[in-house]
A and B are shown apart, each in its own frame.
Chain A
Amino acid sequence: MLSVKGLRANVGDKEILRGLDLEVGPGEVHAIMGPNGSGKSTFAHVLSGRAGYGVTAGSAIFEGRDLFDLEPEERARLGLFLAFQYPVELPGVNNTYFLKAALNSIRKARGESELDAVSFLRLIKERLKILHLDDSLLKRAVNAGFSGGEKKRNEIFQMALLEPRLAILDETDSGLDIDALRVVADGVNALRGPERSMIVVTHYQRLLDYIEPDYVHVLAKGRIIRSGGKELALELEEKGYGWIDAEVEAA
């Protein structure tokens, strides 16, 4: 599904990703953990096509296509979804209109017909319920004035609506209270399936209690320095990242 090999990327003259490898198969859930500033969000952004990064080496093949040949919207239409660590506020952009534009452009790319108003609303209401979000959200501007938790839930709600093949959740758990965390995790789990893969970026083991990963990776200084099963997350929780320097030196 996703195959990243030897990925190097810069911001300005600063190299952030330094030879990153990652293979994600269909239906797999991969957790990525790692210290602040290690490049987790950068990795997510480079995959989804945000401007401002220079890819200097390596490749990222998704569903048989080289992601770096594609515009961000083309990647989304292929089935890539990023739940932002910091969702962007869009003042004056009506949520319903936004969701409809997004869904229809993705459906069109998949060769499906645009949804009529009635089926669209039905679908939206059903997905809102999964995330325990209120209808009133639809009338508001996208993320504008949303609380931190609402923004995060809104990201997962969008994911539920757009049904991507690969979703990257960048610290979706940070800023959520315990109940919201559970709601979000339930939402994510409801979307798990043999055809849908996920990369879950998090600092906390707690999320992984709810969303059980198949693999856990440690990203440090722009590379995956260790991979393992979910027990690796427990180990990190216990030991912290202090051992990393030694590990990176050794590598």
Chain B
Amino acid sequence: MNGDPQIGFERWLAEPSAGAAPDWLESFRSGAREDVRARLLPHSKEEAWRYTSVKSLLEQGFAQSDETMTALQPDDLEEILVPGFETHRLVLVNGRYVPELSAPGDWPEGVRVGGLRALLESDPDALRERINATVDEPQPFFSALNTAGLDDGLVVLLGPGAIVERPIELIHLSVGLDEPRVAQPRHIVRLDAAAQATLVERYVSLGNSVYCTNSVVEVSLGRDAILRHERVQMESPNAFHLTGLYLVQDENSHYMGVNIGLGARWARTDLNARFRGRHAECVLRGLYLAGDGQLLDYHLDVDHAVPDCRSQENFKGILHGKGRAVFDGRVLVAKDAQKTDAAMSNRNLMLSEQAEVDTKPRLEIKADDVKCSHGTTVGQIDPEMLFYLRSRGISEPLARRMVCLGFAGEIIETLGSEALREHISEQVGRRLEATSLS
């Protein structure tokens, strides 16, 4: 284990335990396994890994999780449900879909939602054109690891014109096992032409155990499709979290994404968006809150490959204690992607002198008739605001919290459901409250 760091990931590559998989999937897996073994580990000389080391992740010696937690009862979910949040609920435990804990409810015609493994068994052809359809080769290191272990996850397939009104809620629950495990779910989301849905992914845990989630989310939107995609990372404070999101958009489709990052000790989120048809719109918003012992690392890669598309990237961060964050946002505008409209912004509020953020927006523009802008700020709480609040009798800690929540509010407000907005505000407030006491 000392000499060859690659060995640290060898146990992520254990053979998936599912029964007979279709040949095409087996070849994806074995191809990815070989690929990963031949590859160097992500290291700091790679642009994408300049600020973040995988060393602490390696040291945990995570092993592929291969058992379904069946001991959980629906009552055990009580503490992680969001009060008043009415959804089609699908629950994964340690990366495995658990129908007994899920409450999917009824679906309109043309909609298929469920566990990936189950669908692989019943109708593998429905997935053949979908798996690995949005991820370019060679896959990034952790996505390749995910492919090598590809076995379960959530599938959301909407046929042409299908509309799901209630949010589809994916709860990815992690429960501590005897040894540190990695779960590698693959979520497949496809909206055919003019379909509409809201997908909310929530990564949560019972207890403060050490584990790793390495998820890959593939989203493809057909013509005129509309997806609201909200992701809440609230892993255990000792957890490691990776997300590779791959989004492909056809003509006139709309994607509204919100990424909330509150949990995990080490989290890495890669959001990749690519326009394939004109007049499409992609909004990526984010809010992260990092304190002592936390590193939250975001990489955005938005590819304006065709003309007339709009993208907006707006991430805000609050850092306290010795918290660290990275925002690396890249927007690429291809030579003939005229009339592109892209606006990127990353603003950070630093609550302590030990907190750290590396922010790096990059616009790479090869077209000449475009509207592109970017801006980043790293600042402290405005003392004028604090004084104003305190002059009204409000204590300093509460005043600080109010200003922070106001700052975060711009992103929280964009969540589609009042219940979820309240839940997130409360979680952010609670974390800020804990910091002002220390």
Contacts and interface: CB of A to CB of B under 8 A. Distances in A.
Contacts of B407: 91-92
A144 to B, nearest CB: 9
A51 interface: yes
A51 B383 contact: yes
A166 to B, nearest CB: 13
A244 B131 CA distance: 83
A91 B395 CA distance: 19
Given A88-B384, A101-B398, A76 B406 contact: no
Interface stretch (B19-27, B220-228, B241-249, B385-393): B385-393
A165 interface: no
Interface residues of A, number: 30
Most buried by B among A48, A49, A91: A91
Interface string B368-408: 00000000000000111101111111111011001101111
A49 B399 CA distance: 15
A101 B401 CA distance: 12
Contact of A90 (B393, B398, B403): B403
Given A92-B407, A141-B406, A73 B394 contact: yes
Contacts of A204: none
A48 B391 contact: yes
B390 A73 contact: yes
Contacts of A172: none
Interface in A172-193: none
Interface string B9-42: 0000000000000000000000000000000000
Nearest to A91: B406
Nearest to B383: A51
A71 B405 CA distance: 23
B389 A105 contact: no
Interface string B399-438: 1001101111110010000000000000000000000000
A90 B406 contact: yes
A92 B387 contact: no
A39 interface: no
B315 to A, nearest CB: 16
Contacts of B403: 90, 93
A201 interface: no
Ranked nearest first, the 7 interchain pairs of A and B with the lowest CB-CB distance are A92-B406, A92-B409, A102-B392, A76-B393, A93-B406, A88-B388, A72-B390
Interface of B: 382-385, 387-396, 398-399, 402-403, 405-410, 413
Interface of A: 48-51, 71-73, 75-77, 81-82, 84, 87-88, 90-94, 97-98, 101-102, 105-106, 109, 141, 158, 162
